[in-house]
Structure 1
Amino acid sequence: MSVIVTGADGYLGWPTALRIGSRTDERVVLVDNFARREWVESIGSTSAVPIASIDDRIARASDELGVENLSLVEGDLTDRAFVDRLLSVHEPETIIHTAAQPSAPYSQINGERANYTQHNNLQATRNLLWGLHEGGLEDTHFVETTTTGVYGAPEFPIPEGGATMENQGERDDVPFPAMAGSWYHLTKSHDAANMRLAHKQFGIPISDVRTAIVYGTETDETAADPRLATRFDFDYYFGVVVHRFCAQAVAGYPMTVYGRGEQRKPFVALEDAVEGLARLAINGPNARPDDHVVYNQVTRAISIVEIAETIADVAGEFGLDVEVEHFENPREEDETHKMEIENDRYDDLIGGQSTTFEEGVRQILGTLVDHEETVTTHEDRFLPGVLTDGE
């Protein structure tokens, strides 16, 4: 038996694979087609932190961490024949599915990228679910990182998965309605529905991990050697807001808050995101469901203004003088929305938050100061602009 980690070359997938490998003797199969590197390059950006080749990463995991159970299978999950071979050969006990085109802004660039995002993300998930069913592997625990973006921005506290609907005096628990705000987020809404259907029809145990905005540059494992580092994107299309603000601070740019910036967004530190997925993978206490379970992978909601102010304060520790400026918001969103989101199930899974937001910002700035030249060389990517392929 084995654990399969898809998207294992990615920002979240790589440190998750490392942690799982360090905690189990089972084979950990890393699956990726390395498209993330191509997507980022196509919009003229790069990872601020140099990324070693996957072969070098696996070798360093052995040398530095004593992790000997990682192996690579390169392939495209949208190819059904590849997926069927992957599953039949490795017969996974658990699949941690982190592979996806993860950028909402990238999916919004044009129709071609919207179509690509939807085909890539949905086809991969369907292939895996049907592959498990038709391969007689319905006992495999299927864990996917979807997104808290499927919830949209309702004016009431967001439950951990479902909702209660009342109509004409009758009440029932129903899946939370899809309220996605981008072509990317909608793929995860569809994935959530497909996973629920796969559990109902095939009996596959499902953990739908609705991942918040993940921030941070390292985990205990990736910090052991520079060649174990995970990627760090800071551009408009692939860099989450915390990363982009920190990069702007290092480059001497004012942090660009869109609109009033009082809206709160859900966040989780990389360390806390990796820990949850690792616990689900190795079937820790109460981690493997018999049913379909939804986790809100979030530790707290933070306003955009609070993010900028916290970064500005911590930046002073590094001798950086940072200003906060407000720009017209290019996105359609409520700039004062006070998001509340329940996370009791996920908090119980990881045993409580391990990293505060301020600690995470300090870690990011410390890393980026060491890679200031890369950040400043690509500072034109902080804001949306003309793409390198002319689109």
Structure 2
Amino acid sequence: MTILLTGADGYIGWPTALRIAAQTDDRVVGVDNFARREWVEEVGSTSATPIATPEERLEAAKEVHDLHNLSFVEGDLTDKSFVDELLEVHEPDTIVHTAAQPSAPYSQINGERANYTQHNNLQATRNLLWGLEEHDLTDTHFIETTTTGVYGAPEFPIPEGGATMENQGESDDVPFPAMAGSWYHLTKSHDAANMRLAHKQFDIPISDVRTAITYGTQTAETAADPRLATRFDFDYYFGVVAHRFCAQAIAGYPTTVYGKGEQRKPFISLEDAVEGLARLALSDPDERPDDHVVYNQVTRAISIVEMANTIADVGDEFDLDVSVEHFENPRDEDETHKMEIENDRYMDLIGEQRQDFTEGVRDVLETLVEYEETITAHEDRFLPGVLDDWEKEGDAADETELSYEGDAAEEAEPTPDAN
């Protein structure tokens, strides 16, 4: 048996590869082209945690966890010839597809990056799905991390996948309409539609794992050795709001809440996200649904202001004087939107939540205090234009500098990772 995991160099991909390899004797083959490292460098930032090379990571996995079933292949999934060779050589029984350009703000910078994001993400997924059909591998379980961002922010509770539509007295179950708010999130909406079509046409078993904003710096496996650490981005483009707020706290800045900040966003810990993907990947072929199934990979929705206040409270444990500051919101949005999202299917999968938000913040701050110099050296990357003139003594930033290319960092999600 072989499990292929794409995006194996990424934030979620790498710890998922370790978790899967630690729980099976099957071969686990990681795939990546290191583009995420290039994208972050391009925007002038870096991972707070040092990232080892694949060779160093594999060696550490053998030494620390006795994992001899984990290997790595470098390649670009947008190259169909590479994907064809990959499938021919390894004939995977399961594919865990976490590879993508995952940043909404990055995709919004300009048309070039919007085009790149959509080509990169959609082409990779299409190549894999069509590759399974063309290489007679349609029994392969295809698992992809999409995003809860495909749902947008409707006023009604978000279902786990589809919805029921009524018209003229008749009703039917239909896919949830794509309400994504960025060029990145739309790639995942298109991926969801393409996976549904691939299941209908090719009968490929599909698990569409719609991953929420993910927080945390480590899992049980990555914490065992510094060489096994996953990346941690804290900049405006690739650092999700929780991580950016934690980094701001480390550097002595306030957490920057837009408007009231009462709008709720879906969150999940890295530990819980990894566990869900591992359980799907290792599910018994005779017991898993031979169908197209959507999972809302989220444990609960948290408001931006609650998140900021939690970081401030936990910061006291690390002698951090964290203030919560509210800024004029440059976006047109409901600052009190109370998101509700169903997750029964996902919670049945993992059984119970393994790390709540407070524990996750403690985990993040404990890690980041060790890398304070890296964070402060890149503090201008937190939120360009908002914190540039902030006085650490407590003077307020000039509110005329709040808008940055019309987008807000709260929209960034690190769901899948670079292919």
TM value normalised by structure 2? 0.91
Equivalent residue, structure 2, for 1:282: 282
Q: Distance in 2 between matches of 1:229 and 1:176?
A: 36
Equivalent residue, structure 2, for 1:189: 189
Q: Deviations over 1:203-231 (max 9, x none)?
A: 00000000000000000000000000000
Opposite residue 345 of structure 1, the aligned amino acid is R
Residues 287 and 45 (structure 1 numbering): CA distance in 2 closer, same or farther, change over 3 Å? farther
Decide whether the 8 Å contact of 1:49 with 1:231 is kept in 2: yes
User: Are 2:322 and 1:322 equivalent residues in the alignment?
Assistant: yes
In the TM superposition, residue 237 of structure 1 has moved relative to its aligned partner by 0.4
In the TM superposition, residue 336 of structure 1 has moved relative to its aligned partner by 1.1
Opposite residue 190 of structure 1, the aligned amino acid is H
Residues 287 and 110 (structure 1 numbering): CA distance in 2 closer, same or farther, change over 3 Å? farther
Q: Distance in 2 between matches of 1:109 and 1:317?
A: 37
Decide whether the 8 Å contact of 1:219 with 1:271 is kept in 2: yes
Equivalent residue, structure 2, for 1:116: 116
Q: Distance in 1 between matches of 2:8 and 2:331?
A: 31
1:327-338 equivalences under 5 Å are: 327-338=327-338
Q: Distance in 2 between matches of 1:271 and 1:252?
A: 28
Q: Deviations over 1:295-328 (max 9, x none)?
A: 0000000000000000000000000001111123
Decide whether the 8 Å contact of 1:287 with 1:349 is kept in 2: no
Cα RMSD over matched residues?
1.3
User: Are 2:247 and 1:244 equivalent residues in the alignment?
Assistant: no
Equivalent residue, structure 1, for 2:20: 20
In the TM superposition, residue 330 of structure 1 has moved relative to its aligned partner by 3.5
In the TM superposition, residue 274 of structure 1 has moved relative to its aligned partner by 0.1
1:116-135 equivalences under 5 Å are: 116-135=116-135
Q: Distance in 1 between matches of 2:52 and 2:291?
A: 39
Q: Deviations over 1:52-102 (max 9, x none)?
A: 011100110000011111111110000001001000110001000000000
Q: Distance in 1 between matches of 2:287 and 2:147?
A: 19
Opposite residue 384 of structure 1, the aligned amino acid is P
Q: Which runs of 5+ in 1 are unaligned?
A: none
Q: Distance in 2 between matches of 1:314 and 1:25?
A: 40
Residues 175 and 57 (structure 1 numbering): CA distance in 2 closer, same or farther, change over 3 Å? same
TM value normalised by structure 1? 0.97
User: Are 2:218 and 1:218 equivalent residues in the alignment?
Assistant: yes
Q: Distance in 2 between matches of 1:14 and 1:332?
A: 36
Equivalent residue, structure 1, for 2:67: 67
1:1-391 equivalences under 5 Å are: 1-284=1-284, 288-384=288-384
Q: Distance in 2 between matches of 1:350 and 1:298?
A: 11
In the TM superposition, residue 287 of structure 1 has moved relative to its aligned partner by 6.8
Of 327-336 and 236-245, deviating more is 327-336
Residues 306 and 78 (structure 1 numbering): CA distance in 2 closer, same or farther, change over 3 Å? same
SS at match of 1:164: strand
Aligned residue pairs: how many? Answer: 387
In the TM superposition, residue 284 of structure 1 has moved relative to its aligned partner by 4.9
In the TM superposition, residue 332 of structure 1 has moved relative to its aligned partner by 3.7
Q: Deviations over 1:114-157 (max 9, x none)?
A: 00000000000000000000100000000000000000000000
Of 321-330 and 39-48, deviating more is 321-330
Residues 201 and 285 (structure 1 numbering): CA distance in 2 closer, same or farther, change over 3 Å? closer
SS at match of 2:93: strand
Q: Distance in 1 between matches of 2:148 and 2:92?
A: 27
Q: Distance in 2 between matches of 1:262 and 1:282?
A: 38
Opposite residue 282 of structure 2, the aligned amino acid is I
Residues 219 and 294 (structure 1 numbering): CA distance in 2 closer, same or farther, change over 3 Å? same
In the TM superposition, residue 286 of structure 1 has moved relative to its aligned partner by 8.7
Whose relative contact order is higher, 1 or 2, with alpha carbons under 8 Å and at least 6 apart? Answer: 2
SS at match of 1:117: helix
Q: Deviations over 1:140-195 (max 9, x none)?
A: 00000000000000000000000000011111100000000000000000000000
Opposite residue 84 of structure 2, the aligned amino acid is D
Opposite residue 65 of structure 2, the aligned amino acid is L
Q: Distance in 2 between matches of 1:101 and 1:385?
A: 24
Q: Distance in 1 between matches of 2:179 and 2:287?
A: 28
Q: Distance in 1 between matches of 2:5 and 2:287?
A: 17
In the TM superposition, residue 283 of structure 1 has moved relative to its aligned partner by 1.1
In the TM superposition, residue 385 of structure 1 has moved relative to its aligned partner by 5.7
Q: Distance in 2 between matches of 1:346 and 1:287?
A: 16
Decide whether the 8 Å contact of 1:215 with 1:242 is kept in 2: yes
Opposite residue 46 of structure 2, the aligned amino acid is T
Q: Distance in 2 between matches of 1:152 and 1:231?
A: 27
